[in-house]
Amino acid sequence: MSKIINPILTGFNPDPSILRVEDDYYIVTSTFEWFPGCQIHHSKDLKNWQLIGQPLNRVSQLDMRGVPDSCGVWAPCISHHDGIFYLLYANVKSFNGDWKDTPNFLVTAENINGPWSEPTFLNASGFDASLFHDDDGKSYFLNMLMDHRNGKFFGGVVLQEFDKESKQLVGKIHHIFAGTEHGRTEGPHIYQRNGYYYLMTAEGGTSYEHCMTLARAKSITGPYEVHPENPIITAKNDPDNYLQKTGHGDLVETQSGEWYAVFLTGRPLTKLGRCITGRETAIEKVEWREDDWLYLACGGRAARREVEAPALPEYPFIQANNRLTFNDTEIDINFQALRVPLTKDWVNQTDRPGYLRLYGRESLSSCFAQSLIGRRVQAHHTSAETCLEFSPDNFQQMAGLVCYYNTVHYHYLHIYGDDFGAYSSKKYLTILSCDDHKTTQANPTPIEITSIDKVFLKADFDGEKLQFFYALTVGNWQKIGPILDGSILSDDYVEHAERHFHPCFTGAFYGLTCQDLSGQNLEADFEYFDYQEIDK
């Protein structure tokens, strides 16, 4: 029997919402401050998945300039009804203190590949919104309710009718579920089967207490009774399980009547340790039993690394080339930017054909206009390399290869210039590391590379160990700097490092980046980018 290997979406792809339209399956996941917003993966067999789109691709749909780290797009939900795709998402603006700003929007399309409409604002009472389309033609919008009073935060689940003609919420708001003893109730989805409405929620927070819970009612507004063996999926009592942090999920039924759950997960480097690949998406087979409740088909509550595939023809995709040479005019879909669109004024592959050109802008600590494009770290041992041509005039101009988590956690191998004045023709290679706002130079003696046009840069990211390399000729790699702690590029570390609580929900990225703090927008040219997974 064919097996599905978990996670099915590796590296920072959390909060999955799944949809089947005839023979095609789609999963949409959160992207937070990374632009374009939302990731849509496609499959025909639930085993092989391919990234096909990032639908929120213009500022009119997603304005994230200035949003804090790990805000932006939270928990999108995709549905399909009467030939129309509906995509819900929150564009979270702030999340510190008791007050949270979580506006929810809707875009629609007739084709999964777009074009997607301009957004419609729906509400801002909480996040993790979803749509349920009932058999009687009515549709309903539900979300978790934010409750700022006395630091309560999670106020249960609310539901309101959604009018598909006006694309607005109408009628009374119903508080349908207060949650269970696991707490932190969010991520609601509703399904209908055998005369019941089933409410699935994520509870316990998004770390090692995470779980997937289920309740049901005869009426969509409740009252809801909780699953007798709640939660139905969790690793909270199984710290040795390969898949940890399991929760926040969604259900799908195959053409042949099999049921599967997709859900958030994490793969720690050590027992209950740090997850450098961020929060990912896994899958499990589930089954309805005679009591009309849903259970893991394998029994218990722990999700597995290998899962029985459905009775569908296997449909593999052509594997993408992990070595990009920038000969096309379009930027590869695996690259995303921070908060702003990838516009030609700061990044393109046309100003110098065969190269990716970045025009330097703001610092790595900026939440507004960074010149950085990144791709996910998707395995526990990976490498990334590039070749850079860059001629800075001064120390305010920098470019290179960064291993990035957020604006205050990164390791940066880069070229920079000398002091202003007579010696401005000199340039150097060095490493800057930022750990909880503290920036340090990892190698105290920068390497002078004044006479060199091209510099090859490489990172080897093996678990918590991160080693940078450089070469002045092809293949002649030399270590630069010490072995760095790559595990600081994880939710688990950042959550405890921050002096004040701030959401930390993304994952490690490799980035190509350029800064020009003088405001002259000096360009940096990258000849290629090579990403390799050494240990999956």
Same domain as 349, residue 234: no
Domain boundary among 260, 284, 308: 308
**C-alpha atoms less than 13 angstroms from C-alpha of 264 in its C-beta half-sphere:** 29
The one-character DSSP state at 479 is E
Does any domain span residue 36?
yes
The one-character DSSP state at 32 is B
Same domain as 391, residue 288: no
SS3 492: helix
Confidence (pLDDT) at 451: 86
Here the tokens at position 73 are: 């797009």
Distance CA 536, CA 527 (A): 27
452, 426 contact by CB (below 8 A): no
Same domain as 359, residue 227: no
Same domain as 424, residue 387: yes
Same domain as 286, residue 248: yes
Confidence (pLDDT) at 535: 73
Same domain as 59, residue 199: yes
Residue 151 — left, alpha, or beta (φ > 0 → left; ψ -120 to 50 → alpha)? left
Q: Is 523 exposed, middle or buried (0-12, 13-18, 19+ CB in 10 A)?
A: buried
Does any domain span residue 37?
yes
Confidence (pLDDT) at 243: 98
Confidence (pLDDT) at 1: 72
Confidence (pLDDT) at 446: 87
Distance CA 244, CA 269 (A): 11
Q: Phi and psi for 180 in degrees, rounded to 5?
A: -115, -170
Does any domain span residue 147?
yes
Domain boundary among 308, 338, 358: 308
SS3 486: helix
What is the pTM for the complete model shown?
Answer: 0.96
369, 361 contact by CB (below 8 A): yes
Confidence (pLDDT) at 423: 53
Here the tokens at position 270 are: 């050590």
265, 13 contact by CB (below 8 A): no
SS3 470: strand
Give the E-state strand segments of 392-426 in sequence order. Answer: 397-406, 409-417
Catalytic residues: 15, 186
279, 505 contact by CB (below 8 A): yes
Here the tokens at position 492 are: 């688990």
Buried b (16+ CB within 10 A) or exposed e, 326-358: beeeebeebbbbbbbbbeeebbbbeeeeebbbb
Same domain as 457, residue 401: yes
Same domain as 211, residue 340: no
**Which residues, 6+ apart, have CB-to-CB distance to 195 below 8 Å?**
218
Q: How far is C-alpha 34 from the chain's CA centre?
A: 8
SS3 92: strand
Does any domain span residue 317?
no
Does any domain span residue 112?
yes
Here the tokens at position 297 are: 């088909």
| C-alpha distances out from residue 157 to 199, 230, 272, 380, Å | 10, 17, 29, 36
Same domain as 489, residue 382: yes
170, 163 contact by CB (below 8 A): yes
Distance CA 333, CA 533 (A): 18
Same domain as 497, residue 393: yes
Distance CA 50, CA 194 (A): 34
Q: Is the bond preceding residue 482 a cis peptide, omega within 30 degrees?
A: no
Confidence (pLDDT) at 50: 98
Domain CATH number, residue 329: 2.60.120.200
Same domain as 266, residue 123: yes
**C-alpha atoms less than 13 angstroms from C-alpha of 479 in its C-beta half-sphere:** 9
Apex 370 CA angle, 368 and 375, nearest 5: 120
Domain CATH number, residue 139: 2.115.10.20
Per-residue pLDDT of the chain (536 residues; tens, 9 = 90+): 799 999 999 999 999 999 999 999 999 999 999 999 999 999 999 999 999 999 999 999 999 999 999 999 999 999 999 999 999 999 999 988 888 999 999 999 999 999 999 999 999 999 999 999 999 999 999 999 999 998 898 999 999 999 999 999 999 999 999 999 999 999 999 999 999 999 999 999 999 999 999 999 999 999 999 999 999 999 999 999 999 999 999 999 999 999 999 999 999 999 999 999 999 999 999 999 999 999 999 999 999 999 999 999 999 999 888 999 999 999 999 999 999 999 999 999 999 999 999 999 999 999 999 999 999 999 999 999 999 999 999 999 999 999 999 999 999 999 999 887 555 678 999 999 999 999 998 776 788 998 889 999 999 999 999 999 999 999 999 999 999 999 999 999 998 775 555 679 999 999 999 999 999 999 999 999 999 999 75
Range of the domain at 207: 3-308
Task: Using the structure block, give the residue that is written with the tokens 């995509």.
Answer: 87
Apex 318 CA angle, 317 and 323, nearest 5: 135
Domain boundary among 275, 308, 341: 308
Does any domain span residue 318?
no
Confidence (pLDDT) at 495: 87
Query: What total number of domains does the chain contain?
Result: 2
Same domain as 136, residue 57: yes
Does any domain span residue 169?
yes
**C-alpha atoms less than 13 angstroms from C-alpha of 299 in its C-beta half-sphere:** 0
Does any domain span residue 281?
yes
Give which of 333, 321, 311, 206 is closest to 266, Cα–Cα: 206
